[in-house]
């Protein structure tokens, strides 16, 4: 495994940038809320999303050798998000890799009620993207064998509260509002928000995971190289394009996305897309049939049919 400790410097630089912008917006005051929205959309969303990628690499221990150091980098990168999400992400994202497509373990799958509520109406999908952070926090409670609260989660929470309080004190509520805008744009109704759609949503069930090869990868730290990451999650963000280059026979025949902006619009307005547009891995029952993950009580260690099927609830 080749780690990239320089990623920590990028994380700190982004935190400094976002804090500086928040201070500037605080000095301007609430009357410039429109400028706050504009800067959050054009700069803040990309900055926060890049730090999400760093949190992701820290989750896989791709920055430093020590897991504790990786956790600290993730907590620092999480500060402009205003909420303590890094340590929770670390827990359920690793489950996503080991139990992908299993409703009982994979928080990347929408809740049953969530998918039914959103359906395939364009305005509901747009609202879902805009409020995606709220829907995300409703998923971990359904997962099995997930322990969220530990000393690292408490540290994450304490640091988030301290940072939020410092922003309000030194930058005012106008500065805090800028970071709120940046937070929602970075994982919601924005081109970088298409990352959540690109990775596993599809109406073509011949392929379970998709990559994005486009210009935003330059500021998204290659997060679009998702097939490559799932194949070898021990490779840091800066080496994912190299993996595709040295093993083109594994990737050139796969379908991929070339525009996150187009994908956002397609997801919203194409009725073929809904939160059901995922692939669920089915578990083989003892009589030779298959069961959905939400219907079985067997453990992951039991025999698993790895064929892909449309997710059904």
pLDDT of residue 46: 98
Closest CA to 93 of 226, 259, 278: 226
Query: Which of 77-81, 144-148, 255-259 shows the lowest per-residue confidence on average (mean pLDDT)?
Result: 144-148
Residue with tokens 């079985």: 296
Q: How many domains does the chain have?
A: 1
Within a domain: 71: yes
Within a domain: 53: yes
Within a domain: 200: yes
When the pLDDT of each residue in the chain is averaged and rounded to a whole number, the result is 86
Within a domain: 305: no
First to last CA, the chain: 39
pLDDT of residue 226: 93
pLDDT of residue 140: 80
pLDDT of residue 280: 67
pLDDT digits (tens, 9 = 90+) for 117-144: 999 999 999 999 999 989 988 888 888 7
Query: Which of 3-17, 192-206, 214-228, 255-269 shows the lowest per-residue confidence on average (mean pLDDT)?
Result: 192-206
Does residue 107 have a pLDDT over 90? Answer: no
Does residue 198 have a pLDDT over 80? Answer: yes
pLDDT of residue 309: 39
Within a domain: 301: no
Within a domain: 109: yes
Within a domain: 112: yes
pLDDT digits (tens, 9 = 90+) for 256-311: 999 999 999 999 999 989 998 887 666 554 455 544 433 322 332 233 332 333 43
pLDDT digits (tens, 9 = 90+) for 218-265: 999 999 999 999 899 999 999 999 999 999 999 999 999 999 999 999
Within a domain: 303: no
Domain that holds residue 21: 6-283
């Amino acid at each position: 495994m080749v780690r990239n400790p320089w990623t920590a410097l990028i994380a700190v630089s982004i935190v400094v940038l976002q804090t500086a912008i928040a201070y500037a917006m605080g000095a301007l005051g609430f009357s410039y809320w429109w400028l706050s929205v504009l800067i959050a959309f054009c700069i803040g969303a990309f900055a926060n999303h890049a730090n999400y990628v760093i949190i992701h690499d820290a989750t896989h221990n791709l920055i430093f050798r020590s897991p504790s150091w990786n956790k600290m980098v993730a907590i620092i990168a999480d500060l402009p998000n205003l909420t303590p999400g890094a340590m929770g992400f670390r827990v359920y994202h690793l489950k996503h890799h080991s139990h992908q497509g299993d409703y009982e373990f994979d928080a990347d799958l929408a809740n049953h009620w969530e998918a039914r509520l959103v359906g395939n109406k364009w305005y509901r999908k747009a609202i879902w993207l805009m409020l995606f952070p709220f829907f995300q926090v409703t998923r971990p409670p359904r997962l099995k064998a997930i322990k969220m609260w530990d000393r690292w989660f408490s540290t994450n929470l304490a640091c988030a509260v301290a940072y939020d309080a410092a922003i309000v004190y030194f930058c005012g509520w106008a500065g805090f509002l800028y970071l709120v805008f940046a937070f929602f744009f970075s994982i919601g109704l924005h081109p970088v928000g298409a990352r959540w759609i690109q990775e596993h949503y599809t109406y073509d069930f011949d392929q379970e995971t998709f990559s994005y090869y486009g210009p935003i990868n330059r500021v998204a730290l290659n997060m679009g190289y998702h097939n490559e990451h799932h194949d070898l999650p021990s490779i840091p963000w800066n080496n994912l394009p190299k993996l595709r280059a040295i093993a083109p026979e594994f990737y050139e025949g796969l379908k991929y996305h070339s525009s996150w902006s187009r994908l956002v619009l397609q997801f919203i307005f194409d009725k073929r897309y809904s939160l059901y547009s995922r692939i669920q891995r089915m578990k083989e029952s003892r009589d030779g049939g298959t069961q959905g993950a939400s219907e079985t009580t067997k453990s992951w260690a039991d025999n698993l049919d790895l064929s892909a099927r449309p997710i059904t609830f």
